[in-house]
Structure 1
Amino acid sequence: MMLDFSSIVPYWHMFVTGAVFTVKASILAVTLGSIMGILIGALRVVPVKPIKGLAAAYIYVIRGTPLLIQLFLIYFGLPSLGINLPAFTAGIIGLSINSAGYVGEIVRGGIEAVPKGQWEAAKVLGLSYLGTMRHIILPQAIRNMLPALGNEFVTLIKESSLLSTLAIAELTMVGQQVRSVTYASFETFIMVGLIYLCLTSFTSIALQLIEKRWQVH
């Protein structure tokens, strides 16, 4: 079989637009998810069992259910409760909530990796729990978490393809639109896959540079 990409060349601008939209959605989702995840991860280590239990239950449920089902619950399920969200808003909320579950576990691991002596030193200095977490523990933990957080961002770029199920015009949805016009299914989705590969490769390289800059020798 001979591949012929000439039929999809006139739609190149659509691929670019879809890729830009995918990057924007991923950055927004990973930012919100990281904020939520840091909070959830911090709650996982507080010395209050009910709070720890709630945070652990959130992570358990989010990591144990498919992202697609979570998106459907938000976009198709909430209207039955009288809550109607635009597709883009529902998609970003779904991605953020899902990402927060994974980031929360990453944060928990990063916090627990900080030597206990740091907690004891902060206690001697008279710092409160929140002060210790904010000024001493989290800055060190985030440095330990960078590789895992980078992997989460790369994963989120790929998982954003599920937004196409909500008819959001990200890269995968654009690919489906181009395929429906050109009937060049193989060529179209090879192009989509290559663009995703470029996005994830560029992101991985950028994150590796950041890790090296933050590395403590």
Structure 2
Amino acid sequence: MIGILTSHWSEFITGFGNTILCSLIALFFSLVLGIGFALLEVAPIKFLRIIAKIYIELFRNIPLLVITMVFYLVIPQFFFKVSGFVAGTIGLSLYTSAFIAENIRAGINSVGDGQMEGALSNGMTYTQAMRYVILPQAMRIVIPPLGNQFINLIKNSSVLAFVAGFDLMYQADVVALSSFQTINTYVIVGVFYLILTLPLSYYMRYLEKKLN
């Protein structure tokens, strides 16, 4: 196992770096989209709620690989070419944002109605009340499920391997085929994923306890 790691160190590090980069980009955009569509889902305007519901149900119920393949194979036929890394990152962002939106919506709904009524009675607009009163409380409530979504996002970044995204799993496939050391290769990859997910898991638990 050590021999495989040292002889293919550059491939593993390249894949590890691309996995981190993809995860960070997808994490940012999925969180932004998730918050945005969660707010639309609880908006007082019915048309906005319908748009949010369509978006969430669409991307939550289509497999991540299918979404990624649409951007990798279908979009280039009609619009412009998309690299495997970009297609995977876009697919991962859209897919994860749908689940994050539902988590945040549940958090918003769990905040008492009196909070919104009190904010409005004190002269705040709906937008101000949501921004300064409701959403901060909701975010504290949904930290545990958000942590799970972030961890799932990192693991789901392996979808890049199917579209030549040069992530950790893609590099592992290349190393395994060239060295015929399948078991050792994927054990090493598992350790790399643990390096990413375990610290995040412990940090989210720490953050939950601190905010509580």
TM-score bracket, shorter-length normalisation: over 0.9
- The root-mean-square deviation of aligned C-alpha atoms, in Å, is 1.4
Task: Name the CA distance, whole Å, in 1 between partners of 2:209 and 2:16.
Answer: 27
The equivalent of 1:209 in structure 2 is 206
Residue 50 of structure 1: which of 47, 50, 66 is its match? Answer: 47
TM-score using structure 2 length: 0.94
TM-score using structure 1 length: 0.92
Alignment gaps of 5+ in structure 1: none
Matching of residue 156 in structure 1 with residue 179 in structure 2:
no
Moved more, 186-195 or 145-154: 186-195
Matching of residue 147 in structure 1 with residue 147 in structure 2:
no
Contact 2:19 2:167 in 1 (8 A): yes
Quote the offset at 1:59 in angstroms: 0.9
Partner of 1:51, secondary structure, is helix
The equivalent of 1:172 in structure 2 is 169
Task: Name the CA distance, whole Å, in 1 between partners of 2:199 and 2:12.
Answer: 17
The equivalent of 1:114 in structure 2 is 111
Matching of residue 81 in structure 1 with residue 60 in structure 2:
no
Contact 2:164 2:170 in 1 (8 A): yes
Quote the offset at 1:5 in angstroms: 4.8
Quote the offset at 1:87 in angstroms: 2.5
The equivalent of 1:199 in structure 2 is 196
1:77 aligned partner, one-letter code: V
1:96 aligned partner, one-letter code: S
2:12 aligned partner, one-letter code: F
The equivalent of 1:17 in structure 2 is 14
Any idea what the Cα deviations from partners look like across 1:66-103, whole Å, max 9, x if unmatched? 00000001111111222322322222111111111111
The equivalent of 1:104 in structure 2 is 101
Deviating beyond 3 angstroms after TM superposition, the runs of 4 or more aligned structure 1 residues are: none
Residue 61 of structure 2: which of 61, 64, 83 is its match? Answer: 64
Quote the offset at 1:31 in angstroms: 0.9
Alignment gaps of 5+ in structure 2: none
Matching of residue 91 in structure 1 with residue 88 in structure 2:
yes
Matching of residue 28 in structure 1 with residue 25 in structure 2:
yes
Partner of 1:60, secondary structure, is helix
Quote the offset at 1:8 in angstroms: 4.1
Contact 1:18 1:174 in 2 (8 A): yes
Task: Name the CA distance, whole Å, in 1 between partners of 2:91 and 2:4.
Answer: 35
Moved more, 194-203 or 95-104: 194-203
2:16 aligned partner, one-letter code: A
| Alpha-carbon spacing, 1:7–1:141, altered in 2? closer, same or farther (3 Å) | closer
Aligned residues: 212
The equivalent of 2:125 in structure 1 is 128
Contact 1:8 1:182 in 2 (8 A): no
Any idea what the Cα deviations from partners look like across 1:135-163, whole Å, max 9, x if unmatched? 11111111111111111010001000011
